[in-house]
Chain A
Amino acid sequence: MASPIRLDSIRKEYSAAGNTHVAVDDLTLEIPAGSFTTIVGPSGCGKTTTLRMIAGLETPTAGTIHFGDRDVTDAPPQDRNAAMVFQSIALYPHMSVRENIGYGLKVQGVDEAERDRRIEEAAETLQITAQLDKMPSELSGGQQQRVALGSAFVQDPDVLLLDEPMSDLDAKLKAELRVEVQRLHKELDATVVYVTHDQTEAMTMSDHVLLLEEGELAQFAPPGDLFDHPVSEYVARFIGTPSTNMLPATVEATGDGYVLTDGQFSVPVPGDLFADRVGDDVTLGVRPQYLDRGGGSHGVRVRVDVVEQLGTEYVVHGETTDGSKIDVVVADDAGLATGEDFDAYFEPDDLFVFDDGGDTICHGDALSQSQPA
């Protein structure tokens, strides 16, 4: 039975040589039963620590963890009915693939016939039947990863935890296994928590994404929400490639309302949000994909630095007139050369507005309502 995972004010400190390092700070959230949740964030943000606390391999310094109604905060990893796939894959080098997959079942005392039936079923799902009697060292990286997945889900866990399982694989295998993992999730009755630093994985695979910032929750939301409604500059920068452009601007009052301006553009904004911010510095976030060379309601001048080709599209890395970095995704580079200038246009609809502390003031949908008809 998949169970929901509830974290309540989880905190994890490490003390080393007199220094206390807070790995996870006041994390509260509820992962719904049977969902696929990805924990994402840059290195050292506490995502693996969080996962290890869910697995029982670390004990939180403060706070509680519940699987459904059961408090597992201090329960040992052995009796949480969780399964985990490690970053290092962690196959037992002295056991054959069959024994590796079946080890958990053996520990639980499942008899050999039943064990073999389940191992073979798992192997079939993961297409490693031919490898069952080989040793792990004889397998390719992708096959080893499949064995690790197999050993995790053969036990029919309530909670399946994956710690950056694909970070060592090449892009093609990653894409293949990504599909595999999602298929497994559909077949399994388990709550899946997946740790990755790769936001593409997070966005494509999960029902919910938990983005961490230095051990604190930055945003916990479905991927679409994270992309369209980031709660802070940090979230907007982290999610999406290339990263969201940040354009500095100030709030100004004009005769018929309020605008955000940097001299080149002047975006009208609703008074109820900005009336008491006149004179404040804000940041406009706009995704490189939403900048358009063809035309739009507002524009900035971009000086080309480097143009990268990404298959069907191009990423133009450049600078605005005030020197801030800006990326523009264009369908056609049209012979843009280094040092050349062009205008990139955007619609207020696609903007995010952040205050000088990095918190979101509003998203584009709030701005478009204030457009003059």
Chain B
Amino acid sequence: MFEFGEGAAGSYVSQATQQRVKRTAVVLTALLVAVFVTIPVYVMIAIAVQSPSSAFAGGSVQLFVDSLSFENFRVLLTETSTPRYFFNSIVVTASSTFLSTVIAVAAGYGLTRFDFTGKTLMARAVLFAYMFSPIVLAIPLYVIFYTLGLLNSYFALTLALTAISAPFTIWLMWQYFQTVPIALEESAWVRGASRTRTIWDVVLPVARPGYISAAIFSFAVSWNDFTMARVVMSQDEMYTITVGASLFLDRVSIGWGETMAASLLIAIPPFCIALFLQNYLLQGFNVGGLE
């Protein structure tokens, strides 16, 4: 945000002025966000819920919805493989989210609770891996999966997606576990709880905001992924919804209306998650140093 100096007091600008500047900045930012996010989303919804004939009547896009129609969704769900794509997306997203979160919790716990040689190196490598764009990993992974005969499998795509999300989730959990006082665990040990029991009873409940953030992040990566799915999956029945929807544009029988309807469907799960789990998301990312 716009702030002059460290805080309100002690700067040359009066606090009232700072307040005004802050408020103006917030409003401006909100407007910018609205222009770049809300308007496209609105266009998407508007096209999706009108029948193609009324949406594009008169040669221009009809942005004021006057007749609701679920024609686009009907076409999408009955005449295309959208349900199949959705199913594929759900399978790989769920498995990758689970895998990435489990890896992150295990790695975060290990990195903060045990001393071993090469620990710093490993931690840096994790962060370094996060700098790669997915496409850098995609080609080598393709070669590997091809050699192993794993192309067109949920298993391969799950691994590929985890490779993209895990560096960040590991880093997140590593940071998060640093804020969980080890005295909590020690106190459980002294009271007779084994290390494993302590992890279930104490560590995991306390780390919950952390791993929920990690899970949300890996969910977002997997659900929205295009690159990996495009590279690993080459059969129509194995496509995820993102790849499938992008292919609609190449087909004559499927128009903008259906494509927007597909986009709307894609957007619903992330939207729900952001809506219901935002508190956890903020808690987890605050600790990770992101605000």
Residue B237, interface by CB 8 Å: no
Give Cα A24 to B7, complex, Å.
45
B187 and A84 contacting across the interface, CB-CB below 8 Å: yes
Give Cα A57 to B184, complex, Å.
13
Given contacts A90-B181, A107-B193, contact A57 B186 (CB under 8 A): yes
Chain B proximity of A119: nearest CB distance (Å):
14
B183 and A93 contacting across the interface, CB-CB below 8 Å: no
Docked complex: B156-209 residues within 8 A CB-CB of A: 181, 183-184, 186-194, 197, 201-202, 205-206, 208
B206 and A77 contacting across the interface, CB-CB below 8 Å: no
B189 and A76 contacting across the interface, CB-CB below 8 Å: yes
Chain A proximity of B201: nearest CB distance (Å):
7
Give Cα A104 to B197, complex, Å.
12
Give Cα A107 to B193, complex, Å.
6
B189 and A57 contacting across the interface, CB-CB below 8 Å: yes
A90 and B191 contacting across the interface, CB-CB below 8 Å: no
A57 and B190 contacting across the interface, CB-CB below 8 Å: yes
B194 and A78 contacting across the interface, CB-CB below 8 Å: yes
A103 and B183 contacting across the interface, CB-CB below 8 Å: no
B183 and A90 contacting across the interface, CB-CB below 8 Å: yes
Give Cα A56 to B189, complex, Å.
9
Q: Mark A148-165, 1 if CB is under 8 A from B, else 0.
A: 000100010000010000
| Residues in A whose Cβ lies below 8 Å from that of B184 | 90, 92
Given contacts A104-B191, A104-B192, contact A86 B206 (CB under 8 A): no
Q: Smallest CB-CB separation from B208: which chain A residue?
A: A94
Q: Smallest CB-CB separation from A163: which chain B residue?
A: B183
Residue A88, interface by CB 8 Å: yes
Give Cα A358 to B177, complex, Å.
46
Q: Smallest CB-CB separation from A85: which chain B residue?
A: B187
| B contacts with A: majority SS | helix
B205 and A78 contacting across the interface, CB-CB below 8 Å: no
B190 and A83 contacting across the interface, CB-CB below 8 Å: yes
Residue A108, interface by CB 8 Å: yes
Chain A proximity of B180: nearest CB distance (Å):
10
B194 and A92 contacting across the interface, CB-CB below 8 Å: no
Give Cα A93 to B193, complex, Å.
17
Given contacts A84-B187, A90-B186, contact A107 B181 (CB under 8 A): no
B206 and A92 contacting across the interface, CB-CB below 8 Å: yes
- Name A77's contact: one of B181, B190, B202, B205 (CB within 8 Å): B190
Q: How large is the interface on A (under 10, 10 to 19, 20 to 34, 35 or more residues)?
A: 20 to 34
- Name B206's contact: one of A80, A84, A88, A94 (CB within 8 Å): A94
Q: How large is the interface on B (under 10, 10 to 19, 20 to 34, 35 or more residues)?
A: 10 to 19
Q: Mark A68-109, 1 if CB is under 8 A from B, else 0.
A: 000000001111101110111010111000000001100110
- In this complex, the member of B186, B194, B206 whose beta carbon has the largest number of chain A beta carbons within 10 angstroms is B186
Q: How many residue pairs, one in A and one in B, have C-beta atoms under 8 Å apart? A: 60
Give Cα A115 to B192, complex, Å.
15
B192 and A108 contacting across the interface, CB-CB below 8 Å: yes
Residue A55, interface by CB 8 Å: yes
Chain B proximity of A12: nearest CB distance (Å):
16
B190 and A82 contacting across the interface, CB-CB below 8 Å: yes
Given contacts A57-B186, A86-B186, A107-B197, contact A92 B202 (CB under 8 A): yes
A155 and B206 contacting across the interface, CB-CB below 8 Å: no
| Residues in B whose Cβ lies below 8 Å from that of A77 | 186, 189-190
Chain B proximity of A238: nearest CB distance (Å):
27
Chain A proximity of B56: nearest CB distance (Å):
55
- Name B192's contact: one of A88, A93, A94, A107 (CB within 8 Å): A107
Given contacts A92-B202, A92-B206, A103-B201, contact A78 B189 (CB under 8 A): yes
| Residues in B whose Cβ lies below 8 Å from that of A161 | 190
- Name B187's contact: one of A76, A79, A80, A90 (CB within 8 Å): A90
Q: Smallest CB-CB separation from B187: which chain A residue?
A: A90
| Residues in A whose Cβ lies below 8 Å from that of B202 | 92
B191 and A86 contacting across the interface, CB-CB below 8 Å: no
| Residues in B whose Cβ lies below 8 Å from that of A155 | 191
Q: Smallest CB-CB separation from A108: which chain B residue?
A: B192
B191 and A83 contacting across the interface, CB-CB below 8 Å: yes
| Residues in B whose Cβ lies below 8 Å from that of A107 | 188, 191-193, 197
| Residues in A whose Cβ lies below 8 Å from that of B187 | 84, 86, 90, 151
| Residues in B whose Cβ lies below 8 Å from that of A55 | 186, 190
| Residues in B whose Cβ lies below 8 Å from that of A94 | 205-206, 208
| Residues in A whose Cβ lies below 8 Å from that of B208 | 94
| Residues in A whose Cβ lies below 8 Å from that of B193 | 78, 103-104, 107
Q: Smallest CB-CB separation from B115: which chain A residue?
A: A16
B206 and A56 contacting across the interface, CB-CB below 8 Å: no
Give Cα A86 to B184, complex, Å.
9
A88 and B190 contacting across the interface, CB-CB below 8 Å: no
| Residues in A whose Cβ lies below 8 Å from that of B191 | 83, 103-104, 107, 151, 155
| Residues in B whose Cβ lies below 8 Å from that of A103 | 188, 191, 193, 201
Give Cα A80 to B189, complex, Å.
10
Q: Smallest CB-CB separation from B184: which chain A residue?
A: A90
Chain A proximity of B287: nearest CB distance (Å):
14
- In this complex, the member of A76, A83, A90, A155 whose beta carbon has the largest number of chain B beta carbons within 10 angstroms is A90
Give Cα A86 to B201, complex, Å.
19
Q: Smallest CB-CB separation from A82: which chain B residue?
A: B190
| Residues in A whose Cβ lies below 8 Å from that of B190 | 55-57, 77-78, 80, 82-84, 161
Q: Mark B196-236, 1 if CB is under 8 A from A, else 0.
A: 01000110011010000000000000000000000000000
Given contacts A56-B190, A92-B205, A155-B191, 10 further A-B contacts (CB under 8 A): A56-B189, A77-B189, A78-B190, A80-B190, A86-B186, A87-B183, A90-B184, A94-B206, A103-B191, A107-B197
Q: List 13 A-B contacts (CB under 8 A).
A: A57-B189, A78-B194, A86-B183, A86-B187, A90-B186, A92-B184, A93-B206, A94-B205, A107-B188, A107-B192, A107-B197, A151-B191, A161-B190
